[in-house]
A and B are shown apart, each in its own frame.
Chain A
Amino acid sequence: MEMRTGGVKRGVADKAVLAALFLALALWGGLPLRRHRHHDIPIVKGPGVTRVFRLSEYSPGLKGTTADTFVFELRGREPGGKALLIANTHSNEPEGMLSAIIFLENAVVEKGTLYIIPVFNNSGSRATRPGDGYPLYFDIATDWGARRFRFGNRDASPLDQWPDPDVYIHYPDRQLLSYIDVRNTNRTWPGRADGPLMERVTFGAMELMRREGIDVAIDIHGAETMFPVTNCIVAPESSVRIATMVAMTVKAMEGFENHVEPSPAGFRGLSHREIGDHGPSLPFLLEAPIPFLDQPTGPKTVEFLLDGKDPFLLSLSAKGKLFVPYDESGWPIEKRVGQHMSVCLEIFRQFSRKSADRPIAVSGVPRYADVAENGVGRYLADPSKAAPGDIVMN
């Protein structure tokens, strides 16, 4: 009897130790993810920001959800055309968000109005991909210290939209897309007011464009060097002439390649297709090469994210397997952000030439050569020096 009691006690002790070990494992792995999800980044309202509001003003179904996000309005000194910059549609492509933040912390709009959504997929920016070894944060060096940003995932967090369907049936075309695209804000355009959460995000942006009469919509991304649609401007029929002018101008005047890719009419849900088909705006989707997203690379470190240097890609480049030139200098973040800055400014300029009655003129922001030479950090504001009312925690 005594032996049996001793055995039971040992069994209970075993279970308690094992349960404690696993609980410690859950805490060790889970708490950093929880902190990342709730870590807000400060964005400083620049001299041109005239209003900050939430996307739920245009899509009430977002109210109170993690998918709701901030929209910055920069109203110009003179009337003119209207443009919308969308960044972090995919939150693992940070050059878009950095470009948007440089715009809203530095830009002064002379003519027209600029709307900026720096973190379009707010839910995705609070998720990660631990299986791929993604870092949770990255720092950009500045003159006054490092500025920290969340590094997110391509798709929204399942904590905000769960479960995924077996197949995502796109609205309204009913095209069958991959199940995971239901959480991809570059497959859920044009969205629905009462659809899945990510459809409500894209619906909010569509409503903003429709109600405000946005002329130009730019969705800023990054793409793998092994993916054919990279280092380019994707444009549908309606905006391809402007895109072509932009591509030729930046190559001739600023010395970098950014070719034009046509937006396929049969592939639904993408911003460069649906924005033009369902609203008044001319859509453009910008892609800069981001080696970090390629699969056959070394470890996914912050250093690699920022400098884009990888020996495996270098070897593949020698074998002609990449779609962009690639050498020992990699594809640094300065080059990627600089390209986006110049291409956005050139789109505004070309649009203004074509629509002289609706000009969009922006000053105070750097172009490709400035960012490539001075770094991204030079153009980021110091939140500690900003007045509390000028900081938006996103």
Chain B
Amino acid sequence: MIIMIAYYLMTAFLLGLLIWNFVRARDRRGDLVLYLLVMLPLLLRLLRWK
């Protein structure tokens, strides 16, 4: 259970980093889409949907 909580915290941290990079990214749409794609599974896991 402790390891599981640690993994959720790591997921939240990674998602925070990706959101931060997404917000600060310049105009390159390809990068923005890639950030969002990587965020998707992390978001679904944090919401406990998948």
- Checking B7, B32, B33 against A162 with a beta-carbon cut-off of 8 angstroms, the contacting residue is B7
* Contact A25 to B32, CB < 8 A, known contacts A15-B23, A33-B50, A162-B4: no
Minimum CB–CB distance from B31 to chain A (whole Å) comes to 11
Q: Is B36 an interface residue (CB 8 A)?
A: yes
- Cross-chain contact A26 with B29 (CB below 8 angstroms): no
* Chain A positions within 8 Å of B12 at CB level: none
- Checking A11, A19, A30 against B47 with a beta-carbon cut-off of 8 angstroms, the contacting residue is A30
- Cross-chain contact B23 with A30 (CB below 8 angstroms): no
- Checking A15, A22, A163 against B40 with a beta-carbon cut-off of 8 angstroms, the contacting residue is A22
- Cross-chain contact A11 with B48 (CB below 8 angstroms): no
Q: Which residues in window 1-26 of A have CB below 8 A to B?
A: 7, 11, 14-15, 18-19, 22, 25-26
* Contact A18 to B36, CB < 8 A, known contacts A33-B49, A33-B50: yes
- Checking A19, A31, A163 against B49 with a beta-carbon cut-off of 8 angstroms, the contacting residue is A31
Q: Is A387 an interface residue (CB 8 A)?
A: no
Select from chain A the residue with minimum beta-carbon distance to B49: A30
The bracket for how many chain A residues form the interface is 20 to 34
* Chain A positions within 8 Å of B50 at CB level: 29-30, 33, 130, 159
Select from chain A the residue with minimum beta-carbon distance to B47: A30
Render B35-48 as a binary contact track against A, CB cut-off 8 A, 1 for contact: 01101100111011
- Cross-chain contact A18 with B48 (CB below 8 angstroms): no
- Cross-chain contact B49 with A22 (CB below 8 angstroms): no
* Chain B positions within 8 Å of A353 at CB level: none
Q: Is A34 an interface residue (CB 8 A)?
A: yes
* Chain B positions within 8 Å of A19 at CB level: 22, 36
The secondary structure that dominates the A interface is: helix
- Cross-chain contact A26 with B26 (CB below 8 angstroms): no
- Cross-chain contact A22 with B39 (CB below 8 angstroms): yes
- Checking A11, A31, A159, A162 against B27 with a beta-carbon cut-off of 8 angstroms, the contacting residue is A11
The secondary structure that dominates the B interface is: helix
In the docked arrangement, what's the CA distance between A311 and B44, Å?
36
In the docked arrangement, what's the CA distance between A367 and B50, Å?
39
In the docked arrangement, what's the CA distance between A130 and B49, Å?
13
In the docked arrangement, what's the CA distance between A37 and B7, Å?
21
- Cross-chain contact B4 with A163 (CB below 8 angstroms): yes
In the docked arrangement, what's the CA distance between A163 and B50, Å?
13
In the docked arrangement, what's the CA distance between A158 and B47, Å?
13
- Cross-chain contact A15 with B49 (CB below 8 angstroms): no
* Chain A positions within 8 Å of B23 at CB level: 15
Minimum CB–CB distance from B20 to chain A (whole Å) comes to 13
Minimum CB–CB distance from A385 to chain B (whole Å) comes to 34
In the docked arrangement, what's the CA distance between A161 and B27, Å?
40
* Chain B positions within 8 Å of A31 at CB level: 49
Select from chain A the residue with minimum beta-carbon distance to B22: A15
- Cross-chain contact A25 with B49 (CB below 8 angstroms): no
Minimum CB–CB distance from B17 to chain A (whole Å) comes to 16
Render A102-128 as a binary contact track against B, CB cut-off 8 A, 1 for contact: 000000000000000000000000000
In the docked arrangement, what's the CA distance between A186 and B49, Å?
25
* Contact A11 to B26, CB < 8 A, known contacts A162-B4, A163-B3: yes
* Chain A positions within 8 Å of B48 at CB level: 34, 159
Give the interface of A toward B (CB within 8 A): 7, 11, 14-15, 18-19, 22, 25-26, 29-31, 33-34, 37, 130, 158-159, 161-163
Give the interface of B toward A (CB within 8 A): 3-4, 7, 22-23, 25-27, 29, 32-33, 36-37, 39-40, 43-45, 47-50
Closest 3 CB pairs of A and B: A30-B49, A22-B36, A34-B49
Q: Could you write out 22 A-B pairs with CB less than 8 Å apart?
A: A7-B27, A11-B26, A14-B27, A15-B22, A15-B32, A18-B33, A19-B22, A19-B36, A22-B36, A26-B40, A26-B44, A26-B49, A29-B50, A30-B47, A30-B49, A30-B50, A31-B49, A34-B47, A37-B49, A130-B50, A158-B45, A162-B4
